[in-house]
Amino acid sequence: MATSLCEGEARTKHVGLLELQQEKWDFKKIRLKSVRPFVIQDLELDKTDIGLKDSSSLLMFLNEQVRLTLEAK
């Protein structure tokens, strides 16, 4: 698969539709045709004033980068 991150994800994916009608039920397997999107961006931390040991500031910076990327979509 196009978005497989590991061997276990490489199989075809499905969702299920459960149809209930009084006492009868049917489960239909539906193959997923689309892939999940990935956004990859390079960040150069040495071009910021954030120290690598300053985990709080680093986390805030990374969260802000994700927010800006999602807003740009």
pTM passes above 0.75:
no
| Residue 1, domain member (yes or no) | no
- Residue 51 forms part of a structural domain: yes
Q: Of residues 6 and 44, which shows the higher confidence score?
A: 44
Residue 2 belongs to some domain of the structure: no
Please, which residues bridge with residue 19 across strands? 26
pLDDT digits (tens, 9 = 90+) for 26-62: 999 999 888 777 778 889 888 999 988 899 999 999 9
Q: How many domains does the chain have?
A: 1
